[in-house]
């Protein structure tokens, strides 16, 4: 993250509500009403503020009944490999079934953003001449060759 970039208070509230829903579901799984309230509030905040939720966060709750999907507690997780390898998540509360492809060859938009952020830090961590930049902490080059080049 760049210096001087402010994070919206809505993101902080969404993060807090998500953690509260997860903790509520882990400790008392029979109290689904409170968990539903937290997830519905997350969806309402994201809709009103026009925020894009992270795909991993969206996959963790049921779109039909707004319950946090935790395998073994509120969801059943299966891996199928008929046509294409995919993960099947079944909500134990409402029976909603969702399928996600397991193997994805293309990079998602959120992975590309993370790579762009890492390029800036890698550029700051390099030293040496322009032809042979050595990254600090790079395990691929042996330690002797790094000391010889310095």
Could you read off the pLDDT of 61-103 as tens digits, one per residue?
899 999 999 999 999 999 988 878 889 999 999 999 999 887 6
Task: Tell me the percentage of the chain whose pLDDT exceeds 90.
Answer: 43
Query: Residue 135: is it exposed, middle or buried by C-beta count within 10 angstroms (0-12/13-18/19+)?
Result: middle
Task: Tell me the percentage of the chain whose pLDDT exceeds 70.
Answer: 65
- C-alpha 49/C-alpha 71 separation (Å) is 30
Query: Residue 129: is it exposed, middle or buried by C-beta count within 10 angstroms (0-12/13-18/19+)?
Result: exposed
Domain positions in the chain: 9-101, 109-149
Q: Which residues of 59-74 are buried (b: 16+ CB within 10 A; e: fewer)?
A: ebbbeeebbbbbeeeb
Residue 146 has pLDDT above 60, yes or no: no
pLDDT score recorded for residue 102: 77
pTM: 0.63
pLDDT score recorded for residue 149: 46
């Amino acid at each position: 993250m760049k210096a001087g970039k402010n994070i919206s208070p809505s993101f902080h509230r969404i993060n807090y509500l998500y953690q509260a829903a997860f903790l509520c579901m882990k400790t008392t799984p029979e109290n689904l009403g409170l968990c539903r309230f937290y997830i519905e509030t997350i969806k309402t905040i994201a809709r009103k503020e026009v925020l894009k939720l992270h795909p991993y966060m969206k996959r963790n709750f049921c779109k039909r009944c707004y319950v946090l999907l935790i395998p073994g507690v509120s969801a059943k997780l299966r891996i199928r490999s008929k046509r294409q390898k995919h993960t099947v998540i079944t909500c134990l509360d409402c029976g909603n079934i969702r399928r996600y492809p397991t193997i994805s060859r293309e990079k998602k938009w959120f992975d590309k953003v993370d790579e762009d952020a890492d390029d800036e830090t890698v550029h700051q961590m390099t030293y040496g001449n322009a032809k042979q930049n050595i990254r600090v902490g790079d395990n691929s080059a042996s330690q002797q060759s790094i000391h010889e080049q310095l």
